[in-house]
Structure 1
Amino acid sequence: MLNIGCHLSVSKGFYNMGKNALKINANTFQFFTRNPRGSKAKEIDPKDIEKLLKLIKDNNFAVLLAHAPYTLNPCSTNEENRLFAMKIIADDLARMEYLPNNLYNFHPGNHMGQGADKAIEYIITMLNTILKPEQTTIVLLETMSGKGTEIGRTFEELKRIIDGVELKEKIGVCLDTCHVFAAGYDIVNDLDNVLDEFDQIIGLDKLYAIHLNDSMKPFKSYKDRHEKIGQGFIGLEAITQIINHPKLRNLPFFLETPNDLKGYAEEISLLKNLYKDFN
């Protein structure tokens, strides 16, 4: 079975997200933990969470993926900004325990001219400060497109962060198809070798989720511009190979394409028809 969902708004509550997922024939979803362009978080309603957890269990949902705000920069040159990112992510992880045994994704950040070495050091320090042995959430580093001074454009940079994390069982990777394509990993013509490279550098056991997006920009553009499935430079044939690849097909896929709920329903239907169920 294809485990697929999309990004849904938490503004009307967690249970509502679950209902919307079912409406579009999804069996998982991604959500922002708080305002994606700010820091304000919706107050958690335990009864709302309880209803969602029952819906998830009753409908055999795959693992859920929470996403940190875009505005956080854990490796900023500004100490106040780094401490703010640490505070928000730590609070998010505490809140995630209302939804145990799920995933939390964040962008590693921008080094802002200080260089990757110092930035990676800051990210590792943050993770070693906030990750706890008792937490049930796996924290994921997202692969990035390489625009500006982004950390995470290469598998090697992500590997260096993971190597520095003490609680390695709490850390993993979310691979974004648009981002890696833009960063210079040819998932269209050379998917097998890209996955082999990932496995050799990071290890496929550390790959927990896929952001499934087409790309508005061409290969190696270093531009983060998501496109609807089959309408970009990655294309439907390559995306079909991705969802059916034996090393990827059992992972959860999360659409972040420029869509409304109806558009997501159409993409999910399309992808389910392209998925080869060997069970």
Structure 2
Amino acid sequence: MADLPIRPTDRRRRRLLASLGALGAGTLLSGCDWTKSQGVQDFLGRTEDLTQAAMRLVSSREALAREYPTSAIADTFRPNGSIQPQTDAYQALVDNDFADYKLAIHGEVANPQALSLAQLKAAPARTQITRHDCVEGWSCIGQWTGARLSDLLDRAQPTENAKYVVFHCADHLLGAPEPYYESLDMIEAYHPQTILAYGLNGADLPVANGAPIRLRAERQLGYKMAKYVMDIELVNSFADIQGGKGGFWEDRGYNWWAGI
């Protein structure tokens, strides 16, 4: 795959990311440590709606994130956050190579699903070489292979009430009693580069990087890329899900909209 030129919009987004990275160095502890800085939270909260609206105006619903040549792939894709969920249920899945894994897709759907890893691997797939941008200030390029989320959602047949896709995970971050979760709206969920990845750099997805499957939503920052996805729920509102903000970090002050 040929390397693509950097577009003006890419440069503007990178400048924005650089600015946020500088801010994070002093107060955010960037993305994987929650800060109690009210000033930072207020700033991000004020800009979230404007940023989301602006990004949707300047890019089409299906505008692609940049993809890279194989020569750009990092030797090791950096793991972060949880690297080994400690629950007995998850360890049992690891011990039998995820043979008993089932991905539930339920909620605001007409046809709930329960898909094995083999069934996910048999679904229409996409392979993409993309850059993961973390608000900690680092990035890494990897090759991801996975089932297209749009096809899986079509199987489940979302109802008219479905506004968001929520990803419930196996890991518990920062000792939280409830597991990690994240969410996307229907536009991002149906984006061509939004996949449930089961492969990384030509091999099965390692546990440290989110096995058996992890979300890749390439137009979003790294904290949206939920690992260890166990359950997908389509909902009309986040109100009854944990802190009600649509994600683990969002419940702790981060923006729900993390587009780049």
* Fold conserved between structures, TM > 0.5: no
Instruction: Give the TM-score, by structure 2 length.
Output: 0.23
Higher strand share: 2
RCO comparison, higher one (Cα < 8 Å, 6+): 2
Q: TM-score, normalised by structure 1?
A: 0.22
